[in-house]
């Protein structure tokens, strides 16, 4: 048996359930061929080096399996027929795997470790997202308070400017009224 690794780039908008359905489908295909799935790892969404089929991001998935080599082309054909897969690459990792059971147990441990790391990464990302949201809300409150303070300063400046104007306007108004009264009497 030889060990193979297939790296798939899936459309980024495919849901977790959709990716799970793809995994189940490919597990079924591998099982039908008599191949042994060793490891399945969802590496998450990443920015692509260049646009592929209109996508700038893709969801990377790695699949490791054991096969005698005769079914790799058929599996790649299945990858090519799946519309949600925008790119794939299958490479041979090892020429000969002598102890299949030992390799399966190693892969199971590696898969658990990767799942644990993924859960930790998701927790860190959620924590970071919550922190950024709290910072944005705090910045919004500070901006609103600064704007309110600036409005208060502007209204205070306007009131200071209006005070000297008010007596002048009143004087002009009294002069106009006096002139009007003189015209009527005079």
- Predicted confidence pLDDT, tens digits, the chain (186 residues): 888 999 999 999 988 899 989 999 999 998 998 888 888 888 889 999 999 999 999 999 999 998 888 889 999 999 999 999 999 999 998 888 777 788 888 888 888 888 888 788 778 888 888 898 999 888 888 877 777 777 766 665 555 555 555 556 556 666 766 766 676 665
Question: Are residues 36 and 103 both part of a single domain?
Answer: no
pTM of the predicted model over 0.75: no
Can you tell me whether residue 172 is helix, strand or coil?
A: helix
d(CA 53, CA 85): 10
Buried b (16+ CB within 10 A) or exposed e, 104-114: beebeeebeeb
Q: How many domains does the chain have?
A: 2
d(CA 59, CA 19): 9
Domain that holds residue 24: 2-98
Question: Are residues 85 and 114 both part of a single domain?
Answer: no
d(CA 82, CA 2): 25
Question: Are residues 42 and 110 both part of a single domain?
Answer: no
**What pLDDT was estimated at residue 107?**
81
Question: Are residues 72 and 138 both part of a single domain?
Answer: no
Q: How far is CA 181 from CA 168, 173, 175, in A?
A: 20, 12, 10
**What pLDDT was estimated at residue 169?**
57
Report the residue count for the chain: 186
Contacts of residue 76, Cβ cutoff 8 Å, sequence gap at least 6: 6, 88, 90
Question: Are residues 94 and 41 both part of a single domain?
Answer: yes
Q: Residue 93 sits in a domain of what CATH number? A: 3.30.70.60
**What pLDDT was estimated at residue 168?**
60
């Amino acid at each position: 048996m030889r060990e193979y690794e297939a790296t798939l780039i899936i459309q980024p908008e495919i849901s977790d359930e959709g990716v799970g359905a793809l995994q189940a489908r490919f597990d079924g295909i591998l099982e039908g061929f008599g191949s042994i799935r060793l490891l399945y790892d969802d590496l998450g969404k990443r920015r692509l080096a260049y646009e592929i089929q209109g996508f700038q991001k893709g969801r990377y998935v790695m699949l490791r399996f054991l096969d005698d080599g005769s079914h790799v082309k058929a599996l790649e054909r299945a990858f090519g027929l799946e519309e949600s897969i925008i790119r794939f690459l299958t490479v041979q990792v090892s020429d000969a795997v002598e102890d299949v059971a030992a390799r399966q147990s190693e892969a199971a441990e590696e898969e658990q470790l990767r799942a644990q790391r993924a859960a930790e990464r998701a927790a860190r990302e959620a924590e970071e997202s919550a922190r950024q949201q709290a910072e944005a809300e705090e910045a919004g409150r500070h901006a609103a308070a600064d704007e309110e303070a600036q409005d208060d300063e502007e209204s205070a400046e306007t009131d200071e400017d209006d005070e000297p104007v008010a007596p002048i306007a009143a004087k002009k108004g009294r002069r106009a009224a006096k002139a009007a009264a003189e015209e009527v009497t005079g």
